[in-house]
Chains A and B, each alone.
Chain A
Amino acid sequence: MSRLSGRAIAAVVLVTLTGRAAGSGGPPPLPDYVTAAATAPVDQAALAAGRLGIMKGHAPAAILYLDWRLLNGLRVDAASTASLATPCCGRSQNDESAWLAARRAVPGASTDLYYVATDREGPNYTAIPTCFPDAFVTATATLQARIARYEAKSPDVRAWLAAQDAVFDACSKSGVTLPVLAANAPAWLRADHGYQEAALALYDARLDEAERDFVAIGRDRGSPWQPLALYLQARVIQRRALDRPGADNFARAHEAIAKLESAPAGTYGKGEVERMKQVLDYHEQPAALLARLDRALNAPGVPGDVAVKFKDYQSLSATAPQMPDAADWIATLDPKDRAAGLAHARARWQASHKTAWLLAALSLAMPADADAGALVDDAARLPASDPGWLTARYHRLRLTIARRPPAELRAEVDTILARRDLTPSDRNIFLAVRAQSASSLADFAAHALRRPYCTGAGRGCVDGDWPAGDGMLGRQGHGYVGFGGDARAIIDRLPLAQRLTLARDPSLPREQRLDLSLTNYARAVLLQDDAAIDQTARALTGLLPQVRRDWLAIVATPPGPAKRFAEIVVMAKIPSLRTDLADYARPEGSEPSFAGYWVDWLRVPVGGKAPAPSFPPAGAYMPQGFWDGRDSDAGPDEADLPCAGKCGPGTFALHMPGFAAPLTAAALRERSHFFTDATIGPDARGARSLWEDALAFVTAHPNDPRAAETLYRLIRVARWGGNHEHLGRRAFMLLHSRYTGSVWAKRSPFYYDS
């Protein structure tokens, strides 16, 4: 395959809008419309201000804990929100980086050291953290102090650094020893060396030796490390208790920590006492610790060190004989068995009358559940002042959208959308509800667009997995917008006439009109609707000017085989063209760089009918939805399009708005005139392939100026699209026999057959 071909058929699945957005300050945002993780400042600010918004049942547990606090009238503040919303885990390299930079100031120090591993090999291929950031902070400060006092070129400073390198080596290796100190080493270096010996012994799990060394340092009034000794002794003794659990070792650890606790204010490490006690209790008295944490985490004010407390609380709750209420609530929101979870949540709601449990039950309910009606009634009774009110409203709308009067539903959602305190996520969710209850096509268009979650240049705010799909974003004002997944699903269920009207809607950004017009064009060609073909081709001269001449040729050619040929020529230039927004990708850049893969464009023979025409399933419109073009939505489809699957197991099934519902029958009838990937099968044998039509036209019109190029393109279509009846081979043979020496023949040295 030539390099040219390689470029031409390059598949772009990541962010394909880079070229279009050139000069706009970076790539466009990822098309993420709903977040549950509260990583963005706007969400953290809302929580800190006590605004719960729509509770997302699939949010991280730490965020759900904040939700729990708000629902139970407990305070939340900015600091605790930030600490709980920050994803864990891992060790930041910033402190280590500062250490590596500091050590390079010493002449002769190795300059090719860029990383210090800080964990040791544990059982079953695990890695156990050994050295923590404070070790690097201390080492950096000490080295800088020694350089300031004795100069970087001092042999003693060099000796100090060699010893410290050995200490950090021991973070990940056993058997490391310190370099021997010179007999004439100064007192300061000897003191430092003693501390380094003790630290190395601790990392190497030689705990008796480490304890002895730290005790000696504690007794040495001349050592600059004496103030740290008490804390480090306690650390060593605590570690021994954890490594070798037993009453004696735990008792010694408690004693050492108590000694540190009773030391004078300002004693090094005193601030760590509570955490050290918690670590001991975690292993020694888990039930008592869990009860204590539950009290602390349900206190009116946010406890100090809330993230650490919550982590242990979650971990201990998972194995506790009986979960505390908050942990139970969090676990119930994402149960393995939705029905069992719903029954439990409802029972807890009836027993406790806590809003949190009502919301849990609502987030688990589906319209067909026996409990749904009662829950909806309960949700309606929740006062607007309740922090759970917005969540209750959302689920009430979700559970009743199919049976409530649309006008009443629209009025309710419009009132909510008029609020200024909605987070971007929640606004997008309510817009999705509003679009699905639209009164007309124009009303639908007014609510179909969503703003991607974060629009800061180059900064994403994506929670969960990295989104693999590219977006179909357009420019509106200074920001980006895109059709919500529900909106795209509804558009694909509309007949061509309504889609044509929508594509002309001036309120939609140019990019969205391009996407609509291209998919309309594919449908119009398959339906042989010349008026629609000309209408879309005219619009596309401005929307996709890269192939303007082709659009103009279509409009200028009267109906008949020549017009059909002109229609197919442009389809051979746009490999990502589809009839549906579900699997379409926007052509970007210049024509040779249009990305994607061709599909079989098969028309049903005159008088024939495609088998079981169907729409793409709603799941195909989810942010990371997988759809291979073959599944239909014949069965129940509960893809949670408004909330992108983040609001909980109770999903929001796609609801066709009132104006569109009666049109789906007509849309399905249109689909019976052509095959899609979902309907191609053995019955497609009698179908007419548009690619075959193009080959027949070229065969019959050897002097058409587009003939050779079309054969070249058909070879590529056969390789990466359909290859019925050896289309690629036949196009190749004709190209090389009739147009030998043409640039198109030279560009096609191969064909691929199957």
Chain B
Amino acid sequence: MLFCCLFSVGCRRVRPAAPPQLVVWAWERPEDLRFLPQDVPIAVQTGFVEIAGDGFVARGRRFPLLTNAAPRIAVVHIQIDERDPPDWTPDLRRRVAAAVLHYALVLPVPEVQIDFEVRRSQRNILVDVLHDVRAGLPKPLSLSMTALASWCQEGWLDHATADEIVPMLFRMGRGDPSLRTRIEAGGDFLDPRCRHALALSADEPIARAPAGRRVYLFDPRSWTRSDFQTIRQQVERWR
């Protein structure tokens, strides 16, 4: 019989949690992140891929990112054109993977992230892409993936060949807010692979989240120093 005591108040009193490591997302729009402290890594979107029917559209970043430090993570955003559902053939799979790998490797970064939200019926596509990208990435590079928070309560992420899963605690829609409430109350994600990182939005602060995790920060508009300082203070108040 095993008794689990997770996130008890007593434990935290004995060993205060270190501030979480922050990562700032530089989404595809003009971004000036020269105000960021040196210890805050940048995850920059370097590629955009949209799958439609038996083809896809791919392109690199169109908008400048100004920064004093080289980004640490290259993010490739993938999406499915809802007007033209994918015809996911082996050939299309190979071509999409090759395009994603290209944009994942355009910068000399140690980490790559795939941002790909899919409907339930499209999960196999995400799993395939992750598998192929993992297989194509040079060994030292780590592969991260973003995840809808609800995915972390299910079992299918076992099939996702990523080194890091980043549940997003924002824009969660109906149903998921209860999960957010649960996280704020000291709970955690069911899938242990989701317990190493999480993501927040600057316009949806969260009162508390599990300590010791890498925290990705999203801003619905181009970042400002003020936005960053506000959300940083919020995160550092988590106890």
Binds B, one of A12-20, A188-196, A208-216, A297-305: A12-20
B60 contacts A by Cβ under 8 Å: yes
Within 8 A of B (CB), among A532-549: none
Residue from the set A9, A462, A597 with the largest chain B CB neighbour count within 10 Å = A597
Scan B151-173; emit 1 where CB is below 8 A from any A CB, else 0. Answer: 00111000000000000001111
Q: Which residue of B lies closest to A471 (CB)?
A: B174
A10 in complex: contacting residue of B4, B57, B102, B153, CB < 8 Å:
B153
A246 contacts B by Cβ under 8 Å: no
The answer for the CA separation of A467 and B56 in the assembled complex, in Å, is: 21
The answer for the CA separation of A493 and B8 in the assembled complex, in Å, is: 39
The answer for the CA separation of A677 and B66 in the assembled complex, in Å, is: 43
Tell me if B179 and A11 are in contact (CB < 8 A). Answer: yes
Tell me, rounded to whole Å, the shortest Cβ–Cβ distance linking A144 to chain B.
19
A186 contacts B by Cβ under 8 Å: no
Q: For chain A, give the interface size range.
A: 35 or more
Tell me if A127 and B106 are in contact (CB < 8 A). Answer: yes
The answer for the CA separation of A520 and B8 in the assembled complex, in Å, is: 36
- Known contacts A12-B150, A466-B79, A583-B174: does B57 contact A90 (CB below 8 Å)? yes
Tell me if A11 and B4 are in contact (CB < 8 A). Answer: no
Within 8 A of B (CB), among A375-408: none
Tell me, rounded to whole Å, the shortest Cβ–Cβ distance linking B79 to chain A.
7
Q: B98 contacts which chain A residues (CB < 8 A)?
A: 113-115
Within 8 A of B (CB), among A76-129: 89-94, 97, 100, 113-115, 117, 119, 121, 123-127, 129
Binds A, one of B16-24, B137-145, B181-189, B228-236: B181-189
Tell me if A13 and B176 are in contact (CB < 8 A). Answer: yes
Tell me, rounded to whole Å, the shortest Cβ–Cβ distance linking A150 to chain B.
27
Scan B36-64; emit 1 where CB is below 8 A from any A CB, else 0. Answer: 00000000101010100001111111111
Q: A597 contacts which chain B residues (CB < 8 A)?
A: 178-179, 182
Q: B3 contacts which chain A residues (CB < 8 A)?
A: 750-751
Residue from the set B46, B62, B177, B190 with the largest chain A CB neighbour count within 10 Å = B177
Scan B4-19; emit 1 where CB is below 8 A from any A CB, else 0. Answer: 1111100000000000
The answer for the CA separation of A39 and B52 in the assembled complex, in Å, is: 14
A6 in complex: contacting residue of B84, B172, B174, B190, CB < 8 Å:
B190
Tell me if A129 and B95 are in contact (CB < 8 A). Answer: no
Tell me if A119 and B175 are in contact (CB < 8 A). Answer: no
Q: B179 contacts which chain A residues (CB < 8 A)?
A: 11, 597
B65 contacts A by Cβ under 8 Å: yes
B6 in complex: contacting residue of A15, A90, A749, A752, CB < 8 Å:
A752
Tell me if A626 and B172 are in contact (CB < 8 A). Answer: yes
Q: Which residue of B lies closest to A124 (CB)?
A: B64
B120 in complex: contacting residue of A15, A583, A585, CB < 8 Å:
A15
Tell me if A27 and B119 are in contact (CB < 8 A). Answer: yes
Q: A89 contacts which chain B residues (CB < 8 A)?
A: 59, 62
Q: B190 contacts which chain A residues (CB < 8 A)?
A: 1, 6, 9
The answer for the CA separation of A595 and B170 in the assembled complex, in Å, is: 20
B83 contacts A by Cβ under 8 Å: yes
Tell me if B121 and A13 are in contact (CB < 8 A). Answer: no
Tell me, rounded to whole Å, the shortest Cβ–Cβ distance linking A742 to chain B.
14
B110 contacts A by Cβ under 8 Å: no
Q: Which residue of A lies closest to B118 (CB)?
A: A14
Q: Which residue of B lies closest to A584 (CB)?
A: B174
Q: Which residue of A lies closest to B171 (CB)?
A: A468
Tell me if A6 and B59 are in contact (CB < 8 A). Answer: no
Scan A291-328; emit 1 where CB is below 8 A from any B CB, else 0. Answer: 00000000000000000000000000000000000000
Tell me if B174 and A469 are in contact (CB < 8 A). Answer: yes
Tell me if B83 and A459 are in contact (CB < 8 A). Answer: yes
Tell me if A125 and B44 are in contact (CB < 8 A). Answer: yes
Residue from the set A9, A720, A736 with the largest chain B CB neighbour count within 10 Å = A720
Q: B178 contacts which chain A residues (CB < 8 A)?
A: 583, 596-597, 599, 629
Within 8 A of A (CB), among B188-204: 190, 204
Tell me if B173 and A467 are in contact (CB < 8 A). Answer: yes
Tell me, rounded to whole Å, the shortest Cβ–Cβ distance linking A550 to chain B.
22
Within 8 A of B (CB), among A633-679: 677
B180 contacts A by Cβ under 8 Å: yes
Tell me if A125 and B59 are in contact (CB < 8 A). Answer: no
Tell me if B1 and A749 are in contact (CB < 8 A). Answer: yes
Tell me if B55 and A470 are in contact (CB < 8 A). Answer: no
A459 in complex: contacting residue of B8, B85, B150, CB < 8 Å:
B85
Q: B71 contacts which chain A residues (CB < 8 A)?
A: 125
Tell me if A468 and B6 are in contact (CB < 8 A). Answer: no
Q: B180 contacts which chain A residues (CB < 8 A)?
A: 628
A754 contacts B by Cβ under 8 Å: yes
Tell me if A11 and B154 are in contact (CB < 8 A). Answer: yes
Tell me if A10 and B154 are in contact (CB < 8 A). Answer: yes
Tell me, rounded to whole Å, the shortest Cβ–Cβ distance linking A545 to chain B.
23
Q: Which residue of B lies closest to A472 (CB)?
A: B174
Tell me if B155 and A125 are in contact (CB < 8 A). Answer: no
B107 contacts A by Cβ under 8 Å: yes
Scan A507-547; emit 1 where CB is below 8 A from any B CB, else 0. Answer: 00000000000000000000000000000000000000000
Scan A5-49; emit 1 where CB is below 8 A from any B CB, else 0. Answer: 011011111111010000000110010000000011000000000
A624 contacts B by Cβ under 8 Å: yes
Tell me if A90 and B121 are in contact (CB < 8 A). Answer: no
A681 contacts B by Cβ under 8 Å: no
Q: B95 contacts which chain A residues (CB < 8 A)?
A: 93, 97, 100, 114-115
Q: A126 contacts which chain B residues (CB < 8 A)?
A: 60-65
B181 in complex: contacting residue of A11, A94, A630, A749, CB < 8 Å:
A630
B176 in complex: contacting residue of A10, A11, A119, A749, CB < 8 Å:
A11
The answer for the CA separation of A446 and B120 in the assembled complex, in Å, is: 32
Tell me if A90 and B59 are in contact (CB < 8 A). Answer: yes
Q: A583 contacts which chain B residues (CB < 8 A)?
A: 174-175, 177-178
B94 contacts A by Cβ under 8 Å: yes
The answer for the CA separation of A16 and B154 in the assembled complex, in Å, is: 13
Tell me if B150 and A624 are in contact (CB < 8 A). Answer: no
- Known contacts A12-B150, A125-B61: does B83 contact A626 (CB below 8 Å)? no
Tell me, rounded to whole Å, the shortest Cβ–Cβ distance linking B201 to chain A.
10
A461 contacts B by Cβ under 8 Å: yes
B97 contacts A by Cβ under 8 Å: yes
Tell me if A127 and B61 are in contact (CB < 8 A). Answer: yes
A149 contacts B by Cβ under 8 Å: no
Tell me if B155 and A6 are in contact (CB < 8 A). Answer: yes
Tell me if B55 and A754 are in contact (CB < 8 A). Answer: no
Tell me if B57 and A469 are in contact (CB < 8 A). Answer: no
The answer for the CA separation of A469 and B171 in the assembled complex, in Å, is: 9
A221 contacts B by Cβ under 8 Å: no
B127 contacts A by Cβ under 8 Å: no
Residue from the set B71, B150, B153, B178 with the largest chain A CB neighbour count within 10 Å = B178
Tell me if A469 and B106 are in contact (CB < 8 A). Answer: no
Tell me if B61 and A626 are in contact (CB < 8 A). Answer: no
The answer for the CA separation of A691 and B236 in the assembled complex, in Å, is: 35
A419 contacts B by Cβ under 8 Å: no
Q: A13 contacts which chain B residues (CB < 8 A)?
A: 148-150, 172-176
A127 in complex: contacting residue of B5, B60, B204, CB < 8 Å:
B60
Q: Which residue of B lies closest to A95 (CB)?
A: B55
Scan B95-108; emit 1 where CB is below 8 A from any A CB, else 0. Answer: 10111001000110
B2 in complex: contacting residue of A470, A595, A749, CB < 8 Å:
A749
- Known contacts A466-B79, A626-B177: does B148 contact A124 (CB below 8 Å)? no
- Write the residues of chain A forming the contact surface with B, with a CB cutoff of 8 angstroms: 1, 3, 6-7, 9-16, 18, 26-27, 30, 39-40, 89-94, 97, 100, 113-115, 117, 119, 121, 123-127, 129, 172, 458-462, 465-470, 576, 582-583, 585, 595-597, 599, 624-630, 677, 719-720, 736, 749-754
18 contacts between A and B (CB under 8 A): A12-B120, A12-B175, A13-B149, A14-B119, A15-B120, A40-B83, A100-B95, A466-B117, A468-B172, A597-B178, A597-B179, A628-B180, A629-B178, A630-B181, A720-B187, A751-B4, A753-B8, A754-B7
Closest 7 pairs (CB-CB, A-B): A127-B60, A469-B173, A90-B57, A460-B82, A468-B173, A115-B98, A124-B64
Besides A90-B58, A117-B102, A750-B4, 4 other CB < 8 A contacts?
A11-B154, A15-B120, A125-B46, A624-B173
